[in-house]
Amino acid sequence: MPFQNPSRDEIGALLEKAGNIAVVGLSDKSDRTSYMVSQAMQSRGYRIIPVNPTAAGQQILGETCYASLAEVPEPIDIVDVFRRSEFCADVAREAVAAGAKALWLQSGVFSDEAAEIAGEAGLTVIMDRCIKVEDAVTGAGSRR
């Protein structure tokens, strides 16, 4: 059976409950999509936790950046992934090990292997959707 994203209602409920969003591949460059999306989510009341090994220890959007999900010292609700599809299975394994509740692959990113890894561990999986757009469409951020 091919992968199917959760319904808009389910996505809205996930976003309403989410507090901490770890963004894997968050760039420190303000002209990058990962930065703009994360900044918008932060302005809507979500806590953004940057994860990027090349920027580890630096501040991005006023938050400490970590090299990996394993280094994040607090609970993670959603792992939002700005990486190419071929890297997503490894990110899914890290998300499972970190105890995340959801794995979110941004627009244009698909990985059946990542979906299988995360899904089998009980994580909600969303692929090829922009978290910022879904937050706006479902109205979850406006209810924060």
Contact 79, 69 (CB under 8 A): yes
Q: What pLDDT digit, counting tens, does each position of 92-124 carry?
A: 999 999 999 999 999 999 999 999 999 999 999
Q: What pLDDT, on a 0 to 100 scale, did the predictor assign at position 144?
A: 57
Q: What pLDDT, on a 0 to 100 scale, did the predictor assign at position 143?
A: 62
Question: 109 to each of 24, 37, 84, 97, how far by Cα in Å?
Answer: 13, 15, 6, 21
> How far is the C-alpha of 68 from the C-alpha of 92, rounded, in Å?
12
Apex 102 CA angle, 16 and 23, nearest 5: 90
Give mean pLDDT in consecutive 10-residue pieces for the chain, a chain of 144 residues. 91 96 97 98 96 97 98 98 97 98 97 97 97 93 66
